[in-house]
Amino acid sequence: MNFLMGKLKTTVATELGGSQRSVERYRTGERNTPPKAITGRMDAAVRARWQPKVRDRRRRAAATAPAPR
């Protein structure tokens, strides 16, 4: 949830289809597990934003690595 909060410029609630208050409850720990529908949307949103970062990091590491002998 915190990753999405940092990445999205809009509210996370509109992305996940929940309420802003529910998002605040998950962040503070007042609620621990969201419903399965929201969990799936949260997982998809994180994967969509996380995977390009991983690929970019690997690409940069490969570009600066010494050539194999």
CA-closest candidate to residue 24, choices 13, 15, 33, 35? 13
Euclidean distance between the first and the last CA atom of the chain, given in angstroms as a whole number: 44
Number of domains in the chain: 1
Residue 12 counted as domain residue: yes
Cβ neighbour number for residue 32 with a 10 Å cutoff = 7
Structure letter (DSSP) for residue 68: P
Residue 49 counted as domain residue: yes
Residue showing tokens 């998809």: 44
Predicted confidence at residue 9, as pLDDT, reads 65
Note the pLDDT tens digit of each residue in 21-63: 888 888 888 888 888 888 888 888 888 888 777 888 888 888 8
% of the chain exceeding 70 in pLDDT:
97
Domain residue limits at 57: 2-63
The pTM score is 0.59
